[in-house]
């Protein structure tokens, strides 16, 4: 018994002596009015207001303008810039922490058709990766499950919360689908050719998805009483309360996917990826399809593509009159989401107006997600979800935040990265 007590005591000492590093405590509700003065306001709708004042109370912007009277606490931001909080779409933030540690990953579910899988209840609000978004101005995001043909149901969250319930901004906003590939490569490990070959199962894969959605329509019209959670989860696609996000890249796949959704009576379709969407912009406009393009800092998929196609793709689609945002998914997508403003800044280098590029990750993203009544632009009556930057927030040299707010709550801009920066900066000073 004495040995047991000794072991217990030793474990207790070890436990309390090990430093525990968790996410900062979420900010409390706004308790006093805050006025930001002398700032250049980038509204998020394409316009800029110089030397203005922004006042917000109880989480809402209450006044804006050069002559707006200050109230409460005053932040002098002369020479600085204020932006609406950046919004990331089609992301797995909070669903995975360390790729090599299986227990920390909750991105994929078993099964091919799993629309009733809800990303929100798996979202980890205390993720270190989520915390690292805020110092670059990324304050909201759409959290999406991956895997299978119909991957699940996404939700929109804000990035300063105790848990998923507190984080939720828009619950179960969309269903996500991976469209079948019309071409595939051979399996090199079996000696098959790596050249592109037509996918012989393409039509069959589409038919399986069509059968599911037709079954769901019948179920939700009351033709059967047997409970089916998968069918129930897609009901919103047919009454317009949910959108269908379809991942497709080639010209043929995009056209097939849009026609597929239209024939089924799905009211709102969003194209994700859309690598060749620039070839069929008129078709997409006619069908009112918004496009979430892949990250701009990437290389072309085919050797006969323009070398700068990924850089300029958002501009090509924007110039054609489409509603466009940027998708950070891909290699190390959760970590790389902090580069979202620089993906938008990349398009500026391709000739896109800077304020138009800003819309890709603010107002356009909010419109696609259906949260534009509260987020995405700096306007009286909207949420005070914004940040102050020393310079141009789309440029890595100017994206230096001094203050950030979500619904008027002032955030900590500390993270594991900033702690390491301060630690080793101090070391360098000491070593001189």
Please indicate, yes or no, whether residues 317 and 405 belong to a single structural domain of this protein. no
Please indicate, yes or no, whether residues 80 and 129 belong to a single structural domain of this protein. no
Counted domains in the chain = 2
Please indicate, yes or no, whether residues 416 and 392 belong to a single structural domain of this protein. yes
3-state helix, strand, coil in the chain (%, to 5): 35, 25, 40
> Does residue 14 lie within any of the structural domains?
no
Please indicate, yes or no, whether residues 67 and 152 belong to a single structural domain of this protein. no
Distant-in-sequence, close-in-space partners of 148: CB < 8 Å, separation ≥ 6? 108, 109, 111, 112, 113, 114, 178
* pLDDT tens-digit series, residues 279-330: 999 999 999 999 999 999 899 988 899 999 999 999 999 999 999 999 988 8
> Does residue 123 lie within any of the structural domains?
yes
Please indicate, yes or no, whether residues 319 and 237 belong to a single structural domain of this protein. yes
Strand 81-84 versus strand 386-389 pairing type: antiparallel
* pLDDT tens-digit series, residues 155-194: 999 999 999 999 999 999 999 999 999 887 777 777 777 7
- pLDDT for residue 378 is more than 50: yes
* pLDDT tens-digit series, residues 93-146: 999 888 777 777 788 888 899 999 999 999 999 998 999 999 999 999 999 999
Among 359, 375, 391, where does a domain finish?
375
Q: Among all chains, which residue has been given the structure tokens 């230096």?
A: 400
Tokens of 120: 């929100």
Question: What is the structure's pLDDT at 283?
Answer: 97
The span from the CA of 47 to the CA of 41, in Å, is 9
> Does residue 12 lie within any of the structural domains?
no
Q: How confident is the model at residue 6 (pLDDT cuts 50, 70, 90)?
A: low
Distances (CA, A) of 200 to 182, 187, 256, 259, 260: 8, 15, 16, 20, 19
The span from the CA of 31 to the CA of 29, in Å, is 6
End-to-end CA separation in angstroms for the chain = 55
Q: Assess contact for 150 and 114: CB atoms under 8 A.
A: yes
Please indicate, yes or no, whether residues 225 and 370 belong to a single structural domain of this protein. yes
Question: What is the structure's pLDDT at 62?
Answer: 97
Give counts: helices (H), strands (E), the chain: 14, 18
Residue 420 sits in a domain whose CATH number is 2.30.40.10
Buried b vs exposed e over 366-378: b needs ≥16 C-beta within 10 Å? bbbbebbebbbbb
Q: Among all chains, which residue has been given the structure tokens 């796949």?
A: 253
The span from the CA of 217 to the CA of 119, in Å, is 23
Domain that holds residue 368: 86-375
> Does residue 16 lie within any of the structural domains?
no
Question: What is the structure's pLDDT at 420?
Answer: 82
């Amino acid at each position: 018994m004495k040995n047991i007590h000794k072991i217990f005591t030793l474990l207790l000492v070890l436990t309390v002596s090990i430093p525990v590093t968790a996410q900062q405590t979420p900010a409390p509700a706004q308790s006093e009015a805050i006025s930001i003065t002398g700032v250049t306001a980038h509204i998020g709708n394409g316009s800029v207001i110089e030397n203005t004042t922004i006042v917000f109370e109880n989480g809402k912007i209450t006044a804006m303008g050069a002559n707006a009277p200050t109230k409460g606490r005053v932040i002098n931001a002369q020479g600085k810039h204020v932006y609406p909080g950046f919004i990331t779409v089609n992301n797995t933030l909070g669903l995975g922490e360390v790729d090599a540690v299986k227990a920390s990953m909750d991105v994929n579910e078993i099964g091919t058709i799993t629309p009733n899988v809800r990303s929100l209840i798996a979202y980890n609000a205390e993720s270190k990766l989520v915390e690292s978004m805020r110092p670059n101005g990324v304050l909201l995001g759409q959290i999406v499950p991956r895997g299978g043909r119909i991957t699940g149901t996404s939700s929109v969250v804000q990035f300063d919360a105790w848990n998923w319930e507190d984080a939720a901004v828009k619950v179960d906003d969309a269903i996500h689908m991976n469209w079948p590939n019309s071409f595939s490569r051979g399996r090199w490990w079996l000696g098959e050719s790596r050249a592109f070959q037509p996918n012989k199962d393409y039509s069959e894969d589409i038919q399986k998805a069509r059968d599911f959605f037709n079954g769901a329509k019948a179920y939700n019209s009351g033709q059967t009483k047997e409970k089916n959670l998968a069918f129930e989860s897609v009901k919103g696609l047919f009454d317009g309360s949910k959108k269908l996000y379809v991942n497709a890249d080639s010209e043929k796949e995009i056209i097939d996917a849009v026609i597929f959704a239209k024939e089924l009576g799905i009211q709102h379709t969003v194209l994700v990826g859309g690598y060749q969407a620039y070839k069929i912009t008129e078709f997409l406009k006619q069908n009112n399809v918004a496009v979430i393009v892949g990250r701009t800092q990437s290389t072309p998929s085919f050797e006969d593509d323009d070398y700068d196609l990924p850089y300029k793709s958002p501009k090509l689609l924007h110039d054609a009159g489409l509603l466009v945002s940027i998708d950070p998914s891909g290699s190390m997508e959760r970590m790389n989401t902090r580069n979202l403003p620089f993906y938008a800044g990349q398009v500026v280098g391709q000739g896109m107006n800077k304020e138009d590029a800003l819309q890709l990750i603010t107002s356009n993203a909010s419109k696609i997600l259906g949260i534009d009544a509260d987020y995405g632009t700096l306007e009286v009556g909207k949420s005070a979800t914004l940040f102050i930057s020393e310079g141009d927030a789309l440029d890595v040299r100017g994206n230096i935040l001094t203050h950030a707010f979500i619904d008027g709550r002032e955030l900590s801009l500390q993270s594991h990265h900033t702690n390491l920066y301060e630690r080793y900066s101090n070391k360098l000073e000491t070593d001189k």
